[in-house]
Amino acid sequence: MENMIALTVDGISVEVPAGTSVLEAARKAGVHIPTLCYLKDINAIGACRMCVVDTGARSLQAACVLPAAPGMVVKTNTPAIRQYRKTLLELVLSAHDKKCLTCVRSQNCELQRLCRELGVEDGDAFKGVTNEYAIDDVSPSIVRDNNKCILCRRCVAVCSSVQKIGVIGPVMRGFKTAIESPWGLKLNEMACINCGQCITACPVGALHEKDDTAKVWAALADPDKHVVVQPAPAVRAALGEEFGIPMGTSVTGKMATALRRLGFDKVFDTDFGADLTIMEEANELIERITSGGVLPMITSCSPGWIKFCETYYPDFIPNLSSCKSPHEMVGAMVKSYYAEKAGIDPKKIVTVSVMPCTAKKFEAARPELGHDGMADVDIVITTRELARMIKEAGINFAMLPDGDFDSLMGESTGAAVIFGATGGVMEAALRTAYETLTGETLADVDFHGVRGTEGIKEATVNINGTDVNVAVCSSTGMAAKLLDSVRAGEKNYTFIEVMACPGGCVNGGGQPIVDSDTRATVDVRAVRAKALYGEDAGKALRKSHENAEIKAIYADYLGKPGGHRSHELLHTHYTRREKYTD
Amino acid sequence: MKSLAELEAIRKATISKINVRKENEAETVRVVVGMATCGIAAGARPVMLSFMDEISKRQLNHVTVSQTGCIGMCRLEPMVDVIVPGHEKVTYVHVKPEMVPRIVAEHIVNGRPVDEYTIGAAE
Amino acid sequence: MDIYRAHVLVCGGTGCSSSGSATLIDRFNEKIAENHLDKEVKVIRTGCFGLCEAGPVVIVYPDGTFYSRVKPEDVDEIVTEHLLKGRKVEHLVYVDHATRQQDAEKKLEDITFYKHQHRIALRNCGVIDPENIDEYLAMDGYRALEKALTQMTREEVIDEILKSGLRGRGGGGFPTGLKWKFTYQSQADQKYVACNADEGDPGAFMDRSILEGDPHAIIEAMAIAGYAIGASQGYIYVRAEYPIAVKRLSIAIDQAREYGLLGKNIFETGFDFDLNIRLGAGAFVCGEETALMHSIEGKRGEPTARPPFPAVKGLFGKPTMLNNVETYANVAQIILHGADWYASMGTEKSKGTKVFALGGKINNTGLVEIPMGTPLRTIIYDIGGGCPNGKKFKAVQTGGPSGGCLPESLLDTPVDYDNLIAAGSMMGSGGMIVMDEDNCMVDIARFYLDFIVDESCGKCAPCRIGTKRMKEILDRIVEGKGEEGDIEKLEQLAQTIKNTALCGLGQTAPNPVLSTLKFFRDEYEAHIKEKRCPAHHCRSLLQYKIDPAKCKGCTACARICPAEAISGTVKQPHVIDVQKCLKCGSCMEKCRFGAISRV
């Protein structure tokens, strides 16, 4: 092939396309070069210098940023290079707090693993002064502990390059360099959207979710509280990874059992909320189309996206669907419909959501998402926090039998489960909207045009002879790009789905952390999404409006989608937010 | 915006202005005016200014004017030495401003000292 | 009348300005007016003369009298004696270090300091008024640009620079012509030329002096470069700490625009070129080319990996050709006099001249420009006048924080890029700091490392953490807390940083330590093993002692001691209590009998 480059890495000949880095070329040759700051497609800056290789040039080169060149002879494993890498790790350790035993990332830490693999013997070889940092734990979603930060800047890259937000960056210089927000502000004082992508990018324990498990344990232990839990669609696609189950395995049944064993009084499913969302959102879309409302309508399930829109694209607030996100809908229904049915004082109910998302923690605390002085959702924990609770409770997850969700709000369709992947909400909405508008039954419910991990996807669906243009995007960076084109009048859509995280909720900021080596070879977003599409395909019912419990809730309680009670319980409003506060 | 010709003109004009800073130039003619108290009292300053005026008028880039102190013949002041490289120093005495154009024209430009003004004629 | 019979040149470089040359200029103008000489005598503020040691420097033409260390009160005398009466003020005339004579008749180029020099980059510094474009024009200014634009093709210009053998004067020594050629070869809708005036090496100030003394030389060279590579826009990145340079450069750019030497359709050749100044905030790392360009773009000044090289992808993602000030200062002369003329000077692989900033323990601190290949000894002794106070020379540090310290045994090294690297140092931007027997080489290494620790950008781990740890080890050693194994640790860290750091600054950061370890390892060992500083410099390792044989018991030392550490009876030998002694050295200064010494 014309654009192929031949080189040798440690004596192994390999051919790669022009533009490939030496790191990737080595990988192809079966040579693993250690990295710390490199994160495929996100961060290649040659800062940690772990990946230095000898190409015969004047100095060693960082393989992650060095393009492969024809005839290049690369040595990755000389005695000198091994010694330098070890010394580099010892230096990094000398500026790290080394509190591995109690670190949330222990055994899932790239620094720890490299030290072990590269034979570092003395963590104090270059003992010296360290910078002491106060832990920033003021944000409802994200905790930054710079005492553990190794300045790889993966968080910075994902925040600025992928999400196009850039509320963190290097400040000061030299040994005093730290990743912080400008002017010494805390993360919650910045226009951070709480997406948590920085956490999943972090190789060490410098970033983690605000841990709310203690609140859950306390509620479970309180005999006066009736604790109701609901897990999001994407959680079942990834929770297993925390227990050694291969990525891409759906663990819905084990998860339901585990939740029950943890002591929750009711185990409902956010998937039910997803179906409910589709009922409301499809109705809203049809209303907007038929009555000349603001279009394109944009989905509102992703709280990171909502805050992004409120802050950075406030002119699109009227385009946002007024629907609450699925778990908020379930929360509202638990404290009204379920409380009434079960005869429980809603004030004694504690609603807990298990989410793939750190922004949901911020969302749950929004004052508008509540009723009669009660929040719809009281506590949000992430997939990772649930895994820790399961481990702490001594539950052998892998051996659990499959269980079911509790009825009333436990049934769901295939349309709901695909909410966890980018394009899922769009596909689910199209299934219902199509049938509602045409009165026909869809022959094929699979809308392949909106599936896949690309940042922006477009499709045109013919409904009743009219072409409806839709777009799906994931990551706020892609959202910005898409909205810019809409704003400029270059694009004309009727309906847009936006998810704040690249690939949607399966790759959310609250999901199990996948190390950079795995991310270099596996598209986490696609593998996890496959688990969800697999569940969808296996379901008897694949359209939200076919869900029996949904039908019941409208018949018994809500009346009709978009009706008075729905508006009271299931819809919300948005606020313009300033980028900087005083 | 200047044309190439204008730039060349600026160069030429400026060279004559900064010529004074050139050292040891083989072709430099030096005019040295006695400027001690005796010389000044006898009217050396107007003489020196006349020299400068004349040199400037004729754009003589290779001539410098400087002063020197008393050389002990106060009665002959104002005295002016004209030193042309390769020639012996010529000393003019009792110099008056009106004599200057002739010294410049005949001696400095044309290389013929004005004998009647020189120290030899006076002695 | 336009022509003045006498010119008083007062150095307006930063060095002389800070020792009061601005006041001198005012005073001269005042006194000259008072004596009605204002139509005959002109005062000109020039750029740096180079002999900063003797500042403020004043030269009176046409006599060429070189006055040094002129104070405002001296001005009256110079005006009434020299300018009015033509009598040179002998006692203010510069004392030549070699002859120890004040010779009022001595011409500038005969002064020993200037005699060995060959000024190309500095040719107009101290000679012309940098704020007057006409004076630059009179010195053949912009003739090279005219020649390039009207008589030469772009390829010919590049070829001339290539053939001249000119190499980057900022430190790297990369062949300048190749840089031009690579950028010329890059295809793009927009290219840039840039000038690195972010001079950051401690002790180096040649770039500042050129910008202050001859700003048009840089503008002309950049325009030539723009023509050669196909750029219509240039940026000069100059540190904000150089206010005089920035001001003169701004004036020069305005004047060049007014004369049509910058702007559209220069010399009606269809060539457009303009320049803008960008101020740096003083980060050392912004002298690194990729960091500099990020800074111009408004980003954090940090290096990024090369490739891509700036010639392919530089400023704003476009091909960019970046040269240092001193490199540019040679360009017009090469175009004007030809590559062969330039290449006739210097050594085989290092052509032309190089400016060095002499500093430290040397008599003639200042700027010197010498042909490549001049031995260190000539620079330090013949030009620099050796170490003051009869002290013994110990080492010379070249290349700033990236360079190294060379001992006496290497003084006959002809200075060029390759020889200095072979000797264990480097050219760098041309800082040259002399150390004598009183300098502790461990402490010198620590000084440079301290600078690096402060200036590391913090991007790559080896430089960010490694230099800090090296500095901590050196701190320990000079405090007498050095341990067995510290030297090995320093070497391990130095090698790691040298081989793995991201940018050139990081890779060379350990050089001061490596070179002192190479040539002065015994000093390190004395500190660590014997807890002794051979130079008697490190405070924690020295003691003050009174020699009872020399002490007259005058009590002066006891009275000056702030710690009351000295006791003794009058007319009897005194004693220092080492426990109480603060090691301030006041007693030693005070003693008239030389009885007190550091051991």
Measured between CB atoms, which of B14, B20, B65 is closest to C134? Answer: B14
CA-nearest residue of chain B to C124?
Answer: B21
| Residue that finishes a domain, picked among A39, A62, A77 | A77
Structure tokens at A64: 């992650």
Contact C61 B21 (CB under 8 A): yes
CB distance B48–C40 less than 8 Å? yes
> What pLDDT, on the 0 to 100 scale, is given for residue B24?
55
Domain C6-115 listed as CATH 3.40.30.10: yes
Asked if residue A225 and residue A201 are part of one domain, the reply reads no
Q: Which chains touch A (3 or more CB pairs under 8 A)?
A: C
Tokens of A113: 């693993």
List all residues of chain C from 488 to 517 with a beta carbon under 8 Å from chain A.
Answer: 489, 492-493, 495-496, 498-502, 507
- Calculate how close chain C gets to B61, using CA atoms only, in Å: 10
Same domain? A181 vs A233: no
Closest in C64, C87, C135 to B69, CB measured:
C87
- Which of A363, A411, A427, A435 is catalytic? The answer is A363
Number of domains in chain A: 3
CA C224 to chain centre: 26
- Say if A46 is an interface residue toward chain C (CB within 8 Å): yes
Cβ contact, residue pair C304, A128, below 8 Å = no
Answer whether A126 touches C (CB < 8 Å).
yes
End of a domain among A44, A62, A77?
A77
Query: Does residue A281 carry a catalytic annotation?
Result: yes
Same domain for A157 and A191?
A: yes
Contact B15 C138 (CB under 8 A): yes
Contacts of A171 in chain C (CB under 8 A): none
- A321 labelled catalytic: yes
C343 touches C164 (CB < 8 A): yes
**Do the beta carbons of residue C393 and residue C360 sit within 8 Å?**
no
Q: Which of C315, C310, C277 is nearest to C294 (CA)?
A: C315
- State the sign of the Cα–Cα–Cα–Cα dihedral A95, A99, A103, A105: positive
3-state helix, strand, coil in chain A (%, to 5): 40, 15, 45
Same domain for A157 and A39, yes or no, is: no
* pLDDT per residue as tens, chain C (599 positions): 467 889 999 999 888 888 899 999 999 999 999 988 888 899 999 998 888 888 899 999 888 899 999 999 999 999 998 998 888 899 999 988 888 888 777 777 788 888 889 999 999 998 899 999 999 999 999 999 999 999 999 999 999 999 999 999 988 899 999 999 999 999 999 999 999 999 988 888 999 999 999 999 999 999 999 999 999 999 999 999 999 999 999 999 999 999 999 999 999 999 999 999 999 988 999 999 999 999 999 999 999 999 999 999 999 999 999 999 999 999 999 999 999 999 999 999 999 999 999 999 999 988 999 999 999 999 999 999 999 999 999 999 999 888 999 999 999 999 999 999 999 899 988 999 999 999 999 999 999 999 999 999 999 999 999 999 999 999 999 999 999 999 999 999 999 999 999 999 999 999 999 999 999 999 999 999 999 999 999 999 988 999 999 999 999 999 999 999 999 999 999 999 988 998 888 999 999 999 999 88
What residues in chain A have per-residue pLDDT under 70? Answer: 1-2, 581-582
Q: Are A362 and A195 in contact (CB under 8 A)?
A: no
In degrees and rounded to multiples of 5, residue A98 shows phi and psi of: 55, 30
A164, A183, A208: which is the final residue of a domain?
A208
Same domain, yes or no: A386 and A336: yes
| Secondary structure of residue C17 in the 3-state scheme | helix
CATH assignment of the domain containing A540: 3.40.50.1780
To probe the interface with C, which of A72, A87, A115, A146 has the most C CB atoms within 10 Å? A87
Q: What is the structure's pLDDT at B23? A: 59
Q: Does domain C441-529 have CATH number 1.20.1440.230?
A: yes
Nearest by CB to B67, from C7, C39, C86: name it: C86
Place of tokens 């990737």: A24
Query: Environment class of residue A132 by beta-carbon count within 10 Å: exposed (0-12), middle (13-18) or buried (19+)?
Result: exposed
pLDDT in the model for residue C402:
86
Alpha helices (H) along A320-369: 326-333, 339-342, 359-364
Instruction: Tell me how many degrees the CA angle C469-C474-C476 measures, rounded to the nearest 5.
Output: 95
Residues A220 and A193 grouped into a single domain: no
Q: What is the pLDDT of residue B119?
A: 81
Active site includes A505?
A: yes
Contact C3 B56 (CB under 8 A): yes
Whether chain C has a CB inside 8 Å of the CB on B69: the answer is yes
**C80: chain B residues, CB-CB within 8 Å:** none
User: Looking at the predicted structure, is the pLDDT value of residue B123 above 70?
Assistant: no
What is the rounded CA–CA span in Å between residue A130 and residue A128? 6
CATH homologous superfamily of domain C133-343? Answer: NADH-ubiquinone oxidoreductase 51kDa subunit (3.40.50.11540)
- Whether C490 and C158 have beta carbons less than 8 Å apart is answered as no
Domain boundaries, given as residue ranges, for chain C: 6-115, 133-343, 353-436, 441-529, 543-598
User: Does an H or E element contain C367, and which?
Assistant: strand C366-371
- Of the pLDDT bands very low, low, confident and very high (cuts 50, 70, 90), residue B25 is low
pLDDT tens digits, one per residue of A206-247: 999 999 999 999 999 999 999 999 999 999 999 999 999 999
Q: Which residues of B touch C146 (CB under 8 A)?
A: 4, 7
Is residue A511 in a domain? Answer: yes
Q: What is the CA radius of gyration of chain B?
A: 16
Within its chain, how far is the Cα of B6 from the centroid? 29
- Catalytic choice (A86, A505, A516, A566): A505
Put simply, the answer to whether C461 touches A150 (Cβ < 8 Å) is yes
User: Quick one: tokens of A150?
Assistant: 């190794």
* Distance, CA of A456 to CA of A434 (rounded, Å): 22
- In the stretch 3-42 of chain A, residues with CB closer than 8 A to chain C read none
Interface test with B, best of C38, C79, C137, C259 (most B CBs within 10 A): C137
Roughly how many angstroms between the first and final C-alpha of chain B, as a whole number? 59
Assess whether A198 and A227 both reside in one domain. no
Task: Please report, for the domain that includes residue A15, its CATH number.
Answer: 3.10.20.740
Domain with A149, as residue range(s), is: 142-208
Contacting A residues, span 147-166, partner chain C, CB-CB under 8 Å: 150-151
Domains of chain B: 4-122 (3.40.30.10)
Say whether B52 and C1 touch across the interface (CB within 8 A): yes
A568 is catalytic: no
Running DSSP on this structure, what letter comes out for residue C597? E
Contacts of C112 by beta carbon, 8 Å cutoff, 6+ apart: C96, C97, C98, C99, C382, C383, C385
d(CA C139, CA C449): 43
C464, A49: Cβ pair inside 8 Å? no
Q: Is A427 an annotated catalytic residue?
A: no
**Nearest CB partner across the interface for C85, out of B7, B53, B67:** B67
Give A231 to chain C, closest Cα distance, Å: 41
Q: How many CA atoms lie within 13 A of C482 on its CB side?
A: 30
Residues A559, A553: Cα–Cα separation, whole Å: 8
Cross-strand partners of A380: A353
Cβ <8 Å between C128 and B18? yes
Q: What is the pLDDT of residue B58?
A: 84
Chain C environment of B16 (Cβ under 8 Å): 3
A-C Cβ pairs (cutoff 8 Å, strict): 108
Domain identity same for A167 and A146: yes
Bridge pairing between strands B29-34 and B63-68:
parallel
**Its pTM surpasses 0.90:** yes
**Residue in A193, A48, A174, A176 with CA at minimum distance from that of residue A118:** A48
Which among A394, A402, A397 has a CA at the least distance from the CA of A256? Answer: A402
B26 shares contact with chain C (CB less than 8 Å): no
Which strands sit side by side in the sheet containing C41-46, from one edge to the other?
A: C41-46, C6-11, C58-61, C65-67
Question: Which CATH code, of 3.20.20.100, 3.30.70.20, 3.40.50.150, 3.90.850.10, is assigned to C543-598?
Answer: 3.30.70.20
Which residue in C300, C454, C499 is closest to A84 by CB distance? C499
Nearest CA in chain B to C259: B1
Of C570, A89, C87, the C-alpha closest to B68 is C87
Contact A400, A258 (CB under 8 A): yes
Amino acid present at A103: C
Question: Chain B partners of C3 at a C-beta cutoff of 8 Å?
Answer: 16-17, 20, 52, 55-56
Token reading at A315: 């002119």
Question: Which of C458, C469, C489 minimises the CB distance to A170?
Answer: C458
Q: How many angstroms separate the CA of residue C81 from the nearest CA in chain B?
A: 9
Q: Which amino acid, one-letter code, is at A345?
A: D
CB C532, CB C586: distance < 8 Å: no
What angle, 0 to 180 degrees and rounded to 10, lies between the N-to-C axes of helices C215-229 and C176-185? 40
Residue C36: the pLDDT is 87
Q: For tokens 């006692």, name the residue.
A: C91
- Quote ipTM for the complex: 0.94
pLDDT at B92 over 70: yes
> What amino acid occupies position A300?
S
A392 counts as catalytic: no
Asked if residue A295 and residue A377 are part of one domain, the reply reads yes
A284 is catalytic: yes
Q: Exactly one of A301, A357, A473, A501 is catalytic; which is it?
A: A301
CATH C-level class of C353-436: alpha beta
Provide the H-helix boundaries in chain B: 4-18, 37-42, 44-57, 100-102, 119-122
DSSP state of A210: P
Q: Contact at 8 Å (CB) between C125 and C213?
A: yes
pLDDT of residue A346: 97
In angstroms, what separates the C-alpha of A217 from chain C's closest C-alpha?
A: 41
Pair A168, A280 in one domain? no
pLDDT tens figures, C482-534? 999 999 999 999 999 999 999 999 999 999 999 999 999 999 999 999 999 99
Residue A563 buriedness (CB in 10 A; 0-12 / 13-18 / 19+): middle
Enumerate helices (H) and strands (E) in chain B, giving the number of each.
Answer: 5, 4
Residue A391 known to be catalytic: no
Within this chain, do residues A339 and A196 fall inside the same structural domain, yes or no? no
Strands C233-239 and C41-46 turn out to be unpaired
Question: What's the CA gap between A478 and A456, in Å, rounded?
Answer: 7
B25 vs B74: CA distance, rounded Å: 31
